[in-house]
Amino acid sequence: MKRKNTVAKSKPAPATDSTMNIKDIESLIKFVQNSGVAEVSLEQKDLKITIRTTHGQMVVASAPTVNQHHIVAAPAVTHQAPAPAAVSAPPAAEKPKASDDSKYITIKSPMIGTFYRTPSPDKPVFVNVGDEIKNGKVLCIIEAMKLFNEIESEVSGKIVKVLVENATPVEYDQPLFLVDPS
């Protein structure tokens, strides 16, 4: 999946008494994460926010122009995150067992969306357990905002386990596949 890096800048908001709340900032982070732009800057009367994406990581910096409060976002933003500064750990069922699976490479979701193992309902799956994969091989599709993004392997090896059911929602950085690189 290749994205064109562009920079989108917004004009300063008109002077009003309203300021951005946490929900507005979360919405802005989700928009940037799903849109594929490299950077968004937003300036209001007493707040300046810059959101940058670099290699799948989300970086949020804010600089108040009046008072000195700082907001820093975690790299993974979830739908239920109470605030951008909160770090939410994935449920224990999603974590591979460290002792058994430590020799495997985990392929993770680069975005929030719906995971599909097939290109269409009547087609065969992209990969099965036991299949040999190479760098650039399409492993699945993640649909985000009506766009179907092919997720390609960045490693070579053998598929050991598929960690997500077909047609289920996935979060950013959620493990999708385990690959044995040997």
Residue with the bigger pLDDT between 64 and 50: it is 50
**Looking at residues 34-59, what average pLDDT do you find?**
68
The average pLDDT across 86-94 equals: 47
Predicted confidence (pLDDT) at residue 147 exceeds the cutoff of 80: yes
Residue ending a domain, among 39, 54, 88, is 88
Checking 14-20 for CB contacts under 8 A at 24+ apart, the result is 15/45, 16/45, 19/44, 19/45, 19/46, 19/47, 20/44, 20/47, 20/49
Both 61 and 106 in a single domain?
no
Mark whether 4 and 79 lie in a shared domain.
yes
What value does the mean pLDDT take over residues 41-69?
59
CATH no. for residue 96? 2.40.50.100
Question: What is the side-by-side strand order in the sheet with 7-9?
Answer: 7-9, 39-44, 47-54, 57-64
End-to-end CA distance of the chain: 25
Domain closes at, from 58, 88, 118: 88
pLDDT digits (tens, 9 = 90+) for 9-41: 444 444 444 566 777 777 777 777 777 777 777
In this model, does residue 168 exceed pLDDT 70? yes
How many structural domains does the chain have?
Answer: 2
Whether residues 150 and 126 fall in one domain: yes
Strand partners for 29 = none
Q: Is the torsion defined by CA of 81, 109, 154, 128 positive or negative?
A: positive
Residues 127 and 100 both lie in one domain = yes
Same domain, residue pair 57 and 102: no
pLDDT more than 90, % of the chain = 42
Collapse the DSSP code of 92 into the 3-class scheme (helix H, G, I; strand E, B; otherwise coil) and give the result. Answer: helix
pTM beyond cutoff 0.85: no
Q: Is the pLDDT of residue 83 over 70?
A: no
What residues make up the domain containing 82? Answer: 1-88
Residue 67 and residue 102 in one domain: no
Of 6-20, 28-42, 54-68, 158-172, highest mean pLDDT? 158-172
Q: Mean pLDDT throughout 66-76?
A: 42
Instruction: Tell whether the model's pLDDT for residue 56 goes beyond 80.
Output: no
Average pLDDT over residues 123-147: 95
